[in-house]
Amino acid sequence: MSDNEKRIRFEVLQTAIGIVDQGLYWRKENGENVNPPDTSVYIAKAEELMKFVDDIRDPMVKNVTQLLTEHSGK
C-alpha cells in the first residue's frame, strides 16, 4: 500500500469517527442516554465511506460528485 493510499484510509477513518461521534453528540443533546459505540460501528462507517472513495464508477458516486461540483461553483 502506498503512502498516499495509507493517508486516504487514515483520513477516511478520521471522517468516520467524526460522523459517528457527531451523531452521538446530537442524540445526547436530545436527551437520549448514549453509550460509547463499539469499534465495529466506526469501522462500518469507514467501510461505507471507502466504498465512495474506491468505486468512482458507481452511479451514486457520480451523482454525489456532480452535486458537490454544482454546489461548489455557487
Per-residue confidence (pLDDT) for residue 66, from 0 to 100? 59
Q: What is residue 58's DSSP assignment?
A: S
Buried b (16+ CB within 10 A) or exposed e, 35-70: eeeeeeebeebbeebeeeeeeeeeeeeeeeeeeeee
Q: Structure pTM?
A: 0.68
Rg of the chain in Å (alpha carbons):
15
Give pLDDT, residue 62. Answer: 55
pLDDT in tens, 8-22: 889 999 999 999 999
